[in-house]
Structure 1
Amino acid sequence: MPDVTLTPVTATALFVVACLAGMRYRNIWKAEGPRSRLWLYGVIAAVALLVLGFVPMRG
């Protein structure tokens, strides 16, 4: 299996994506919007945070 690492720029971009998706999730949840969008933004935020948590950074 090849070594999979994140560069600092990629990790920063993933963090920004997770924050923006989480913010959209919260706004839709407060407005009682469609459940499909809640799932979409929730999954995007969760995947981004899991990648940040479990994939090592190249340093």
Structure 2
Amino acid sequence: MAGRIPQWRTSSYSGGGDCVEVAPLGNAIGVRDTKVVDSPTIALPPAAWAHLIARAGR
């Protein structure tokens, strides 16, 4: 995805003041802090993202 700007959106799993944004990054899912636009990004493989979402719902 070189040269493409990620399309960040607020995760539907965020709530309250502790929100995260997510964006597709080619073969990974990017996660960053909503409140800090230039915050570090964590890039998770799709399987790890699915596992995180499954655990977050508990």
Do the two structures share a fold, i.e. TM-score over 0.5? no
Rg larger in structure: 1
- TM-score for the superposition, normalised by structure 2: 0.21
Question: Relative to total residues, which structure has the larger helix share, 1 or 2?
Answer: 1
